[in-house]
């Protein structure tokens, strides 16, 4: 079949082969009216912990809450400074703000798009209490120097693994390297719910227990409220659905790696910068992000050929009105800002075919020639 369009993601194609199994899981929850916590949640937590090899996994209502509760359980609060990268998704930074702590943004590495460790080092003050490396696009941050820095300055490390389910760093899975980690099951993430859901992983029993209490209105047992908690529980229905999908995650990640390898091969010499994988990393390609001149024109061009594309993310955190109070101006983070004007996320999903990738690459190459675009690579 000749390809005439390629969506940005194709969730329908992902779930179609397993819909019977998922329907059964949903029906089971409904039949038992087991809507809040219970066996479906604890089962999924155990299975997700096993998948990541983390000791504990605690289901929450979304990835933003996972970050928020991880920081809270690690005693990050007012007066504390938390370092993260300016090119992340806003939720990383919101979670710092929700706890009353101060986000300290730093620039990113131009190759891996993860936090610039040297910049993080320079940003440390006596008030610094935590660092949040983001495994952006599914590529792990360079964790060893980050963990070393944290050890030297007595900082806690919370991995933002919301795009990195199954990625590894020197063989260690995302979600097992910091004091805690946050995962998102937003529908388009590598493991996605039929709505919102998230997870905290940790190796620390006390942190796990605190998060279990915090997510459930601060109660250690029914109507005994030890902490000023929240309602940040994962839906049991989502847990049941995610538990079915989890069995396929490793295969889906492998399919994404194959797709990324084919993109890289076919885009070589086209004048766009293709994503590189660091020696230490096995990424899971939540997104396949290239850099190109005349980015906006390329996205329009792709759209005319029925190709979905995105920008992750067009406006760095320090240039968002919500964070104007940080007092950072344009020019503060040159790498982040330059990259933000060049990023294009091409279609990337588990079931993307070689023909679909060829169709996208042909369009990119045609654009580069037709518009006489100055090559970046």
Ligand X SMILES: *Cc1c(COP(=O)(O)O)cnc(C)c1O
Q: Is 64 in the site for ligand X (CB under 6 A)?
A: yes
Please report, as residue ranges, which positions from 181 to 220 form the binding site for ligand X (by CB under 6 A).
184, 186, 196, 198
Q: Which of residues 107-146 bind ligand X (CB under 6 A)?
A: 134
How many chain residues bind ligand X (CB under 6 A)? 15
User: Rounded to an integer, what distance in angstroms lies between the CA atom of residue 199 and that of residue 130?
Assistant: 19
Which of these ranges, 85-93, 295-303, 322-330, 338-346, lies near ligand X under the rule CB under 6 A? 85-93
Triad 62, 159, 174: Cα angle to 5°: 95
267: Cβ contacts below 8 Å, ≥ 6 apart = 274, 290, 361, 364
Q: Return the residue of 96, 162, 177, 234 that touches ligand X, per CB under 6 A.
A: 162
Among 6, 60, 91, 352, binds ligand X (CB under 6 A): 91
DSSP 292-332: -TTHHHHHHHHHHTTB--B-S-SS-GGGSGGGGGG---TTS
Secondary structure letter of residue 200 according to DSSP:
E
Nearer to ligand X, 162 or 207 (CB): 162
Q: Is 157 in the site for ligand X (CB under 6 A)?
A: no
For 325, the token pair is 């109070």
Question: Is 356 a residue that touches ligand X (CB under 6 A)?
Answer: no
Distance CA 224, CA 252 (A): 42
User: Measured at CB, which residue is nearest to ligand X?
Assistant: 63
195: left (phi over 0), alpha (psi -120 to 50) or beta: left
Name the one range near ligand X by CB under 6 A: 117-125, 160-168, 232-240, 341-349.
160-168
Q: Is there binding between residue 62 and ligand X (CB under 6 A)?
A: yes
What is the Cα gyration radius of the chain? 21
User: Which residues, 253 to 292, sit near ligand X by CB under 6 A?
Assistant: none
- Binding residues vs ligand X (CB under 6 A): 62-64, 88-89, 91-92, 134, 160, 162-163, 184, 186, 196, 198
């Amino acid at each position: 079949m000749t390809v005439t369009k390629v969506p940005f993601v194709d969730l329908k194609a992902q779930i179609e082969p397993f819909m019977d199994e998922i329907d059964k899981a949903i029906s089971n929850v409904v039949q038992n009216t087991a809507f809040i916590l219970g066996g479906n949640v604890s089962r999924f937590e155990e299975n997700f912990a096993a998948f990541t090899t983390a000791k504990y996994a605690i289901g929450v209502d979304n990835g933003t809450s996972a970050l928020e509760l991880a920081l809270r359980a690690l005693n990050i609060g007012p007066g504390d400074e938390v370092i993260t990268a300016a090119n992340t998704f806003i939720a990383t930074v919101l979670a710092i703000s929700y706890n009353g702590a101060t986000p300290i943004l730093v620039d990113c590495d131009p190759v891996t798009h993860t936090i610039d460790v040297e910049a993080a080092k320079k940003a440390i003050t006596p008030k610094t209490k935590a660092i949040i490396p983001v495994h952006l696009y599914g590529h792990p941050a360079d964790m060893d120097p980050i963990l070393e820095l944290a050890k030297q300055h007595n900082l806690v490390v919370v991995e933002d693994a919301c795009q990195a389910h199954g990625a590894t760093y020197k063989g260690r899975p995302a979600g097992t390297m910091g004091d805690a980690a946050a995962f998102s099951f937003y529908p388009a993430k590598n493991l996605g719910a039929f709505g919102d859901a998230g997870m905290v992983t940790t190796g620390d029993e006390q942190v796990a227990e605190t998060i279990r209490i915090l997510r459930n209105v601060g109660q250690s047992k029914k109507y005994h409220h030890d902490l000023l908690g929240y309602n940040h529980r994962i839906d049991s229905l989502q847990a049941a659905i995610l538990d079915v999908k989890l069995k396929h995650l490793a295969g889906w990640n492998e399919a994404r790696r194959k797709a990324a390898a084919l993109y890289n091969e076919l885009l070589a010499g086209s004048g766009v910068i293709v994503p590189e994988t660091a020696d230490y990393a096995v990424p899971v390609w939540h997104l396949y992000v290239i850099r190109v001149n005349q980015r906006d024109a390329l996205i329009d061009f792709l759209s005319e050929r029925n190709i979905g594309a995105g920008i992750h993310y067009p406006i760095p955190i320090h240039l968002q009105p919500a964070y104007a109070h940080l007092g950072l101006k344009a020019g503060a983070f040159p790498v982040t800002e330059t990259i933000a004007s060049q990023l294009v996320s091409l279609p990337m999903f588990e079931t993307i075919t070689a023909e679909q990738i060829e169709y996208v690459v042909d369009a990119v190459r045609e654009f580069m020639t037709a518009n006489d675009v100055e090559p970046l690579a």
